[in-house]
Amino acid sequence: MTTIIVCGGRSYGLVPAGVGEDVRGTYENQAAAERERLTQILDAAVVRLGLTHLACGDATGADALAAAWAEGRKIPFQIYAADWQAQGKAAGPLRNRRMLEEEVPSAVIAFPGSKGTRNMCDIAERAGVRVIKVDW
């Protein structure tokens, strides 16, 4: 089994709330392009990396899109939720470390994101796991 962890921003592939109608089309086009990009990259990961199992967080954006992609392709996947209430700000990094330790992935595919995405990339690189940054 070849496990890949997917990470990325919570707004990846989404139209931000409160976007005015005058620019909504631009944001919708960008979100659609991001969703298509994620699909292309993960489809390629099946062929090029042998992806047979996917792991991701439990957030909107890249995580949710990756889980939906896996479900649609009938590829087994595991969602890891961060326990924000019990662990506070440490929940994201603790979840990332747990994902890395439990899944022992062949690679991490990282779509644009912020602190949490960078943390996942940093700990994976330190563990010697290949990190593929998409469109950074």
Banded model confidence at residue 18, pLDDT cuts 50, 70, 90: confident
d(CA 25, CA 21): 8
Look at the chain and report how many structural domains it folds into.
1
Across residues 78-86, what is the average pLDDT? 97
Q: Which domain holds residue 21?
A: 3-133
46, 52, 58, 63 alpha-carbon torsion, rounded to 10°: 0
**pLDDT, mean of residues 26-34:** 95
What angle, rounded to 10 degrees, do the helices at 21-48 and 62-73 form?
50
Of the candidate ranges 9-18, 33-42, 54-63, 95-104, the one whose mean pLDDT is the lowest: 9-18
**Confidence check: pLDDT of 19 > 90:** no
pLDDT at 17 over 90: no
Phi, psi of 110 (to 5 degrees): -115, 120
We report the CATH number of the domain holding residue 73 as: 3.40.50.450
Share of the chain above pLDDT 70, in %: 100
Strand pairing of 77-80 and 3-7? unpaired
Segment 8-37 shows an average pLDDT of 93
- In this prediction, residue 134 carries a pLDDT of 97
